[in-house]
Structure 1
Amino acid sequence: MYLYNVVKLIASVVFRLLYRIEVHGKENITKEGRLVLCSNHINNLDPILISIVFPRQVCWMAKKQIFKSKILSYLLNKMGTFPVDREESDLSAIKNSLKVLKKEGVLGIFPEGTRVKEANIENAKPGIALISIKAQSPVLPVYIEGSFKLFSKIKISFGKPIDFSHSYDKKLTTEDYRLFSKDILQSIYSIKNKEEGI
């Protein structure tokens, strides 16, 4: 936690000099308890910028390729970030996710699994809903937008938490989880539509 706070402080100073960060929907952030934070993904800096403005520590699920460097892997692990294999079902990533939530922590995930330029609800992965429901955790949708050009504005908006408690005791299929994951992704992109008055 100490390392996370130190890195977060340094990153906050640096990135607030490089970008004009604007935050909306802070009132939707829960101050305690388990939470799955789900965001769209447009740039490699997304998790850093979201973590800077989020008041609690976020344990991110990240692609395994960035863990190839031993030094970077060590730092990421110390900060609560863990790898996931996007090419196949990664049981260890699911187990790590559930561990974070069991400890009443915040898990950060990009439902589309990779960076995308345009919304496609079909990109939603069933594992996102599976983790949320198995851990009996609410989901907080996040929408991030910006060109990421130096000194440009980057807007981070937090939507209202999604509650799946009505499904905690039900026996669900992979298709059920896929549909719930689509709902999550739809909630993320609906944040933009609401702000634009669509």
Structure 2
Amino acid sequence: MAEIKQVSTANSNRRNFLWILFQWILQVFFAFWLRYQSRGKEHLPVEGGGLMISNHQSFLDPLLIGLPLTRPVSFMARDSLFRIPILGCFLRREFVIPISRKAASSQSFRAAIQNIENGNFVGIFPEGTRSDDGTVQRFKPGFLALLKRTECAIYPIGVAGAFRALPRGAYFLRLKPVRVVFGKPISAELIKQYCDRGAEKELLELTRQCVIECQQQAEEWINPVRTN
């Protein structure tokens, strides 16, 4: 597994500078090529840690989610991506957390917990793999272990259009509109209530439904329903 590094103040400042530069370039490009737009950023806290849960349509998703934000997100990504020469170097510099698709390591979870406790966002795609048709698939429950060991809120996110802009097997970005909707958070207090009464399956489904609602709003933003 790729080496996991903690975010120090100096490294965080370096990462912020790199992200701001990269963000500016992407904002110009995505606004032109994908007609990219997002809404709901007001649901995110100005400071403090949290767990971002999103549907997964494309390799673009982490960039699309982080694009409108003023601070970076440490996404959990499969460890095989770190073996790709250029991409792996970039992922390490941006403190993406490697995780095995076969078995989540305790090292990965410790890194995610530490990031949240240090006041950073951690991003997870609980479907585990990209959707072929844009619909939200079944959620894997692994992220619930993070919630039991941290006192943070869940911030649901819906991505729409990314599976058309860069579908599975595609090597080139298509001229397709993309939208991202940041939904209302599931509070730490509510999460604790679910966990205290052993209702993790209910919490898992609640989270998935919140993500589905955000994804549907984003899709309707692209393709508004016309009424007579």
Scaled to the shorter chain, the TM-score interval is 0.7 to 0.9
Match for residue 103 of structure 1?
118
1:182 matches 2:227: no
Whether the 8 Å contact between 1:3 and 1:78 is mirrored in structure 2 is no
Deviations 1:105-151 (A, max 9, x none): 0111111111123333xx21222122133211101100010121633
Deviates more, 1:103-112 or 1:187-196: 187-196
Match for residue 9 of structure 2?
none
Give the CA RMSD over aligned residues.
2.4
Say which one has the larger Rg: 2
| Cα distance, 1:157–1:32 mapped onto 2, change above 3 Å | same
- How far apart are the structure 1 equivalents of 2:21 and 2:123? 19
Whether the 8 Å contact between 1:35 and 1:101 is mirrored in structure 2 is yes
- How far apart are the structure 2 equivalents of 1:153 and 1:128? 30
Normalised TM-score (structure 1): 0.86
Equivalent position amino acid for 1:40 in 2: N
Equivalent position amino acid for 1:160 in 2: K
Normalised TM-score (structure 2): 0.75
Whether the 8 Å contact between 1:127 and 1:177 is mirrored in structure 2 is no
Percent of residue pairs bearing the same amino acid type: 25
Q: How many residues align?
A: 194
| Cα distance, 1:18–1:109 mapped onto 2, change above 3 Å | same
Ranges in structure 1 where 5+ consecutive residues have no aligned partner:
none
| Cα distance, 1:171–1:29 mapped onto 2, change above 3 Å | closer
Write 1 or 2 for the structure with the bigger share of strand.
1
Deviates more, 1:45-54 or 1:158-167: 158-167
- How far apart are the structure 2 equivalents of 1:26 and 1:96? 25
Ranges in structure 2 where 5+ consecutive residues have no aligned partner:
1-14, 166-172
